[in-house]
Structure 1
Amino acid sequence: MELLPFDVSADSPREAHLHLSTNHRSSFVNSTWESDGSSFFIIQGLANLGEKKMILFAILLLGYIIILVGNSMIIFVALTDPKLASPMYFFLSNLSFTDIIFTTTSIPNMLSGFLTPMKTISVPGCFFQMYFFIQLAVTGRAILTVMAYDRYVAICNPLRYTTIMTRPVRLLLIAGAWGFGTVCTMPPCSMAWLQAYCFNVVRHGWCDLSSVRKLVCGDPSVDNIVSISFALLALLTTGILILTSYILIGVSISRMGAGQRLKAFTTCAAHLTVVSISYSSASFVYISYRVGTFSPEVRIIVSVLYAALTPFLNPIIYSLRNKELRESIKRTVSVIRSAAVLPSKDVSSVC
């Protein structure tokens, strides 16, 4: 079966795919996917970079390991340390959990693509990856919104904080964040699944919705409108709620004394930093997709940075800004070291 070579032109995605064999054309009949010879997509990735791929592979692998270790440590200490029993650390552990799954939907696939001459993914696998990548991205921002509300209650209503942020309320807020991610993701991904695809080379590092949509046989204008509408819903809803929370926090802080202001700012600094980085990187990705001068390779690298940057920085930022979390991590590391040293001492004493 003839496959499209990777060295395609970046000028016109549809013209670049005209060399695809007719055996790869697919049809959509009676609401089912029917393939005339191809039941997979080819992930082009960064195949055109040559030997530079291995440098990127090493950097991305190291970053992914740090993401897994850092966020797993936050989850572990939040669940095991009684001193971190407050709602803030409950939400932070949920954010770390979301970040781990979010990066796992894309980065391992990207890493495997560096090691194989041609990376393929099944059609169902492609759409599952697409759905979870978008859903987890939206859910992560929804959790950041919940955390902003948590900071608002802690600073503006400190005496009622424990009565408002009860365990049922916390669980309801997290469930709402996941539900919001599903609502914003299901329509565009469902429409993409129901389309007929004439081409199967995805010019991205994974099954990105915008890149897959370029392979549609017909006119994807309606899909584009739906996708942009739900993207704006996700970004504007969470962004406005976070901004509103911090405006109210700012008004409350302005009425405090100097010492109280510093303490209140300290509790918000880490979250505010993470929010700024998250929305800035998302905006940059949006711009890169709509500026024609960016090459496909640059767009892929920007998307990888977007997918990895916030999950990578979250543990670092919260550890540096939060004294309780930093001390809890130190205690946990000390316990792990002691547990590792004791068996070796026992063995040496027996000998």
Structure 2
Amino acid sequence: MQRKNFTEVMEFIFLGFSIFGKHQITLFVVFLTIYILTLAGNIVIVTIIRVDRHLHTPMYFFLSMLASSETVYTLVIVPRMLSSLILHNQSISLEGCTTQMFFFVTLATNNCFLLTAMGYDRYVAICNPLRYTVIMSKGMCARLVCGSFGTGLVMAVLHVGAMFHLPFCGTVVDHFFCDIYPVMKLSCVDTTINEMINYGVSSFVILVPVGLIFISYVLIISTILRIPSTQGQKKAFATCASHFTVVIIHYGCASIAYLKPKSENSIEKDLLLSVTYTIITPLLNPVVYSLRNKEVKDALCRAVGKNIF
């Protein structure tokens, strides 16, 4: 059927957290606190990396790009969610929904491939240290960052182009932002092709980076185990610990959210997973890199010391 045979939907209404009734104010306070901590943590990381010359290395360049991307990623979703909790304004225009989904897919994909670039950086640093500065040149770092963002743009164009070509009959989205499946459910027509596109894109964005990171860490671990001294092994493992922790958290949440069987979908589970990867995960990244990374902690101490004295 053609789109003109249906009444054109001009806006959507988020169901959001209305199922929690009187607890919405409590949720607002909790989410606002987490959001402020997330913004503060990512801004501090970007600032420290920029001003501290000891952190002007490819590893921290990628970390600053990830922190910047996470900051914009949360800006796309969280402020509107917070306003809906306190003001009970749950509507969004069709254009607003399109824009939100476009940036969400772009930045989520970008984050996945930035983590892959960081894994490649650790592989080169440990497995090929003598050529590290040659391989991980400024040009290579720039190409990896541009490639990550470009991949995100391509995936977003595929998703959003296929999604908003559909005619919509419903207007109530069982979610707090324009995520793919909740909006797809409102279509008047069969969405099998869209579901295939979504599963294909999700598999590519999750499984390809995970596969590359897995190969990197197999090679990294095999190299570390050949280091004769225990102290050397600990030091090598320490340089990968923060990245590996973030990878597990990030891809674990993404895999459960987008690769689980459709039959297991439920509003409560989907909301919980979405809160995890849109609010909790962006907070954990700066926390992990601050608490588990000695160089970042030392840079913070140097910055605080300069300000005090």
User: Above 0.5 in TM-score?
Assistant: yes
The question of 1:312 aligning with 2:288 is answered no
The equivalences for 1:1-351 within 5 A come to: 28-29=3-4, 38-257=9-228, 258-286=230-258, 290-292=262-264, 295-336=266-307
In 2, distance between residues paired with 1:174 and 1:252?
26
Cα deviation per residue 1:109-160 (whole Å; 9 max; x = unaligned)?
1111101234111101101101111221111010000000000000011111
How far apart are 1:287 and its partner, in Å?
A: 6.5
Query: Which structure would you say has the larger Rg?
Result: 1
Confirm or deny: 8 A CA contact 2:202 2:258 kept in the other structure.
no
Aligned to 1:342: none
Confirm or deny: 8 A CA contact 1:289 1:299 kept in the other structure.
no
Query: 3-state DSSP class of the match of 2:170?
Result: coil
Please give the root-mean-square deviation of Cα atoms over the aligned residues, in Å. Answer: 1.9
**Greater length-normalized contact order (CA 8 Å, ≥ 6 residues apart):** 2
Confirm or deny: 8 A CA contact 1:44 1:118 kept in the other structure.
no
In 2, distance between residues paired with 1:332 and 1:217?
57
Confirm or deny: 8 A CA contact 2:83 2:89 kept in the other structure.
no
Cα deviation per residue 1:49-82 (whole Å; 9 max; x = unaligned)?
1111111111111110011000100100111111
In 1, distance between residues paired with 2:207 and 2:137?
28
Aligned partner letter, 2:139: P
Confirm or deny: 8 A CA contact 1:47 1:53 kept in the other structure.
yes
Cα deviation per residue 1:66-117 (whole Å; 9 max; x = unaligned)?
1100010010011111111111110000010011111111111111110123
Query: 3-state DSSP class of the match of 1:256?
Result: coil
In 2, distance between residues paired with 1:85 and 1:226?
39
Cα deviation per residue 1:299-338 (whole Å; 9 max; x = unaligned)?
2122111212221111111112211111212232344456
Q: 1:299 to 1:288 in 2, by over 3 A?
A: farther
**Which segment is superposed worse, 210-219 or 103-112?**
103-112
**Which segment is superposed worse, 254-263 or 295-304?**
295-304
Confirm or deny: 8 A CA contact 1:288 1:299 kept in the other structure.
no
Confirm or deny: 8 A CA contact 1:155 1:249 kept in the other structure.
yes
Confirm or deny: 8 A CA contact 2:11 2:171 kept in the other structure.
yes
Aligned partner letter, 2:275: V
Query: 3-state DSSP class of the match of 2:144?
Result: helix
How far apart are 1:29 and its partner, in Å?
A: 4.2
How far apart are 1:291 and its partner, in Å?
A: 4.7
Cα deviation per residue 1:187-241 (whole Å; 9 max; x = unaligned)?
1211111111111111101011100000101111111011101111111111111
Aligned partner letter, 1:59: V
Q: 1:290 to 1:106 in 2, by over 3 A?
A: same
**Same amino acid, percent of matched pairs:** 38
Normalised TM-score (structure 2): 0.94
Confirm or deny: 8 A CA contact 1:88 1:147 kept in the other structure.
yes
Gaps of 5+ in 1: 1-26, 339-351
Aligned partner letter, 1:99: E
Aligned partner letter, 2:245: T
Gaps of 5+ in 2: none
Query: 3-state DSSP class of the match of 1:78?
Result: helix
How far apart are 1:185 and its partner, in Å?
A: 2.5
Query: 3-state DSSP class of the match of 1:205?
Result: coil
In 1, distance between residues paired with 2:115 and 2:42?
15
Confirm or deny: 8 A CA contact 1:75 1:97 kept in the other structure.
yes
Confirm or deny: 8 A CA contact 2:202 2:259 kept in the other structure.
no
Confirm or deny: 8 A CA contact 1:184 1:233 kept in the other structure.
no
In 2, distance between residues paired with 1:139 and 1:241?
15
Cα deviation per residue 1:1-58 (whole Å; 9 max; x = unaligned)?
xxxxxxxxxxxxxxxxxxxxxxxxxx8349xxx965x521111101121111111111
Higher helix share: 2
In 2, distance between residues paired with 1:64 and 1:81?
26
Q: 1:42 to 1:337 in 2, by over 3 A?
A: farther
Q: 1:211 to 1:337 in 2, by over 3 A?
A: farther
In 1, distance between residues paired with 2:144 and 2:37?
28
Confirm or deny: 8 A CA contact 1:184 1:231 kept in the other structure.
no
In 2, distance between residues paired with 1:320 and 1:117?
37
Aligned partner letter, 1:279: Y
Query: 3-state DSSP class of the match of 1:50?
Result: helix
Count the aligned residue pairs.
307
How far apart are 1:284 and its partner, in Å?
A: 2.7
